[in-house]
Structure 1
């Protein structure tokens, strides 16, 4: 495995662990300390991959969005347009939010409430994911 692939594997592992934390505690629970403890890595090791908690949160939002689209949106695109596709999308969404591994259901929705009164790049990233979701629903 090359150094680049190993780095990507570590980043993916970190993001998956952060995904688990955000489902339970929200974005405020995804601190460098909590995450480092959860995966058995030092805070400085996390800083080697993410230079700030804001960068980690933005990457986490992208990761969650990618998982959401692959499990909810993409399968619905195989269904006929119109009401059948909308029904498939909502059914996939409800299944996704209630899966046993979700623990907290819909972390992006929780993030909207958590960051609704804060300015900055994390809120902007959440809003971008919200626009993608609304665009699909339309």
Structure 2
């Protein structure tokens, strides 16, 4: 539902509607609070709020004009994706520490396996060479 709302608002720019009294009797229209100016059009703030979207969403909130509540302690201010494992709902974070540990251990295992194979190959080569020298089959 949020993504549909984001897509609709993102592609539905508005014309500037708020009055900006710049002084010297100059009055011009600008984007209202919670909208930012992009190419003379006003787009809603996503992951921020205020005039020209200058303020980031406070902790625990995200999305269009910071109207959505995060389901975890720290989340992406635009999408609501969780950054850590401390959850306040049943959702899982995108990549938790268990999967990171498994990835690291897998990589270490592959490297150690390659080192063991190289050592065995070198040991076999040296032993084969010594055997040939002992039997007089190897000429230097």
> TM-score interval w.r.t. the shorter chain?
under 0.3
Q: TM-score, structure 1 length as denominator?
A: 0.21
Q: TM-score, structure 2 length as denominator?
A: 0.21
Larger Rg computed on CA atoms: 2
- Which one has more relative contact order, counting CA pairs under 8 Å at least 6 apart? 1
